[in-house]
Chain A
Amino acid sequence: MAAMAAQSNEDLGKLILRVTVGGLIMFHGLALATGDTGIPNRLAAWGFPEQLMWLGFIAEFFGGLGMVLGVYARLGGFLVGTFMVIAIIMSHIGLMNSQNHLFMVANNPAGNHWDHYFLETQAFYLFGAYAVFFLGAGKLGLNKGGAWN
């Protein structure tokens, strides 16, 4: 009985983690698809074709959707985590006219005091997504994808 309760807590934890990481990154995918220029600009700065942004969209939106549903959730976690590694290299460590944000803090919403790590959001997505890759979807999902879920 205790073992069953512990297992269901594990599954609930996995659900909360993957719905959070997957659901929130989907908003970023939608922003990209509807004209946010952050990623296209960085691709251009590196001399890459801007159309590569659609690979980012696939990782963010469909990787996120897979995590939310429990359909190839591990694959989704791997895609989003790897997308974040690429995003950090391309935009946040000082290459190709970007600033090095690795050792910076950023301001609160009111803009009157620093209050968080500059790459807080990126760190949440990077580590959260790889955690989903390692943990898998658990039982509380559509259970599609075999070993990749």
Chain B
Amino acid sequence: MAITMAQAERESEWFIVRREETAKLIVRVTVGVLILLHTWAVVNGELAIRDTLASWGLPIGLAWTAVIFEGIAPIMVILGVYARLGAWMMTFWMVMAFLLAHIHTGHIFQLAQSGVGWRVEGPFFFLALSLAVALQGAGRYGLGIGGRWN
């Protein structure tokens, strides 16, 4: 049985919408899950953030704000609960990381120690993907809580 043009259009529209929504889910889960491992490391005694704070004469206790900015925020992003707000929090966190650890040290002008790839590739992925989620929102594959802040 031949399909009508209207049917074909409806189906291709369905496909186009679904693939966009799928992409938003992929980006949210990728950036959220990967940053949670960094936070888990901070909670378990990884000292890089504390060392950076100390080098600027800032209280090292500020490292515990990681639990908010790269702990609760990515969970909001993954679940789709005020995901845009969570993503802006992660974006702020990564901007601070660049300002405090990667710019004056010259990392942004260097290749990785292995010689393959940009030195701050990882931090930049976190920054860029957080910003993309902040701009695009969660899409429809999530809990859908937060209105225009999702």
- Tell me the minimal C-beta distance from B52 to chain A in angstroms: 11
Closest chain-A Cβ to B13's Cβ sits at a distance in Å of: 14
Count A-side interface residues using an 8 Å CB cutoff.
Answer: 37
In the complex, the answer to whether B22 meets A134 with C-beta atoms within 8 Å is yes
Contact of B128 with A by CB under 8 A: yes
In the complex, the answer to whether B116 meets A120 with C-beta atoms within 8 Å is no
Q: Is A28 an interface residue (CB 8 A)?
A: yes
Which residues 52-108 of A have a CB within 8 angstroms of B? 105, 108
Among B20, B22, B37, B128: residue with most chain A CB under 10 A: B128
- A108's contact among B46, B128, B136, by CB below 8 Å, is which? B46
Q: Mark A104-117 against chain B: 1 for CB-CB distance below 8 A, else 0.
A: 01001110111111
Contacts of A131 in B (CB 8 A): 23-24, 26-27, 30
**Residues of B that sit less than 8 Å from A by CB:** 19-20, 22-24, 26-27, 29-30, 34, 37-38, 41-42, 45-48, 111, 113, 115-118, 121-122, 124-125, 128-129, 131-133, 135-136
